[in-house]
């Protein structure tokens, strides 16, 4: 059968290619039609029946969903190469105090998470230049417009292999993470297909343990 899968742009391009390859080998009868959108829009599409399932950051508003928690993904602090923190091996949340922090727009759950962290540690969430993509946040950070928090899968794919104009630093103890889940309507689609996808996604996360991904569920 065919599954319409919505995915947040802050995860899909850096996680789904490996998952799709595994799915195709193990379940050649299953076809994924993948469409990206910000998490808030994904939820609206799910509610309207335009998506069968969505792969997104948790938590989501509302309770009428089937949710499979998949894994926790570390967030890294990304700073310009000339920043005093750039030579550190690890950072702590309190290192953000007094700093200007860039973030995605409010359509992203990541925005709420970063805003909460800024409020807790006394950092300034710069809402003047909200990013429309992780690439935009990375570029603005390289231009010394602020610092940002980026997910580990993106960092491994785009920062560690890219120009050395920014530096990504892990948080001590891997304490700053985001939760990723697979979500469907309670009365929409097949439980078996949902469970099958969730297990494949968890297996891919296990293969990424070196990046700090921790499987849930």
Can you give the pLDDT at residue 76? 98
Helical segments of the chain, H only: 12-26, 39-47, 109-121, 134-142, 152-154, 191-207
Look-up of token digits 């509610």: 47
Q: Which two tokens stand for residue 95?
A: 């290192």
Instruction: Give pLDDT < 50 ranges for the chain.
Output: none
Instruction: State pLDDT tens for residues 137-164.
Output: 999 999 999 999 999 999 999 998 878 8
Can you give the pLDDT at residue 190? 64
Please state whether the predicted TM-score (pTM) of the whole model is above 0.85: yes
| Domain spanning 73-174: CATH superfamily | Periplasmic binding protein-like II (3.40.190.10)
Comparing 2-71+179-215 with 73-174, is the CATH topology the same? Answer: yes
Burial class (CB in 10 A: 0-12, 13-18, 19+), 92: middle
Can you give the pLDDT at residue 42? 96
**CB count in 10 Å sphere of residue 138:** 24
**CB count in 10 Å sphere of residue 210:** 8
Q: Which CATH architecture has domain 2-71+179-215?
A: 3-Layer(aba) Sandwich (3.40)
Can you give the pLDDT at residue 189? 59
* Boundaries of every domain in the chain: 2-71+179-215, 73-174
Strand 147-151 and strand 124-125: the pairing is unpaired
């Amino acid at each position: 059968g065919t599954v319409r899968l919505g995915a947040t742009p802050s995860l899909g391009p850096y996680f789904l290619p490996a998952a799709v390859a595994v799915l195709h080998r193990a379940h050649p009868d299953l076809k994924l039609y993948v469409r990206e959108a910000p998490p808030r829009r994904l939820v609206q599409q799910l509610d309207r029946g335009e998506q069968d399932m969505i792969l997104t950051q948790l938590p989501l508003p509302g309770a009428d969903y089937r949710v499979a928690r998949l894994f926790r993904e570390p967030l890294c602090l990304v700073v310009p190469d000339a920043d005093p923190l750039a030579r550190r091996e690890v950072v702590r949340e309190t290192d953000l105090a007094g700093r200007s922090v860039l973030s995605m727009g409010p359509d992203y759950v990541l925005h709420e998470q970063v805003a909460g962290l800024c409020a807790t540690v006394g950092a300034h969430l710069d809402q003047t230049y909200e990013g429309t993509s992780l690439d935009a946040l990375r570029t603005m950070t390289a231009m010394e417009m602020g610092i940002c928090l980026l997910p580990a899968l993106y960092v491994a794919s785009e920062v560690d292999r890219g120009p050395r104009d920014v530096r990504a630093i892990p948080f001590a103890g891997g304490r700053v993470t985001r939760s990723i889940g697979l979500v469907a309507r309670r009365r929409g689609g097949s439980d078996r297909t949902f469970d099958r996808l969730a297990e494949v996604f968890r297996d891919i996360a296990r293969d990424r343990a070196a990046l700090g991904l921790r499987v849930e569920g």
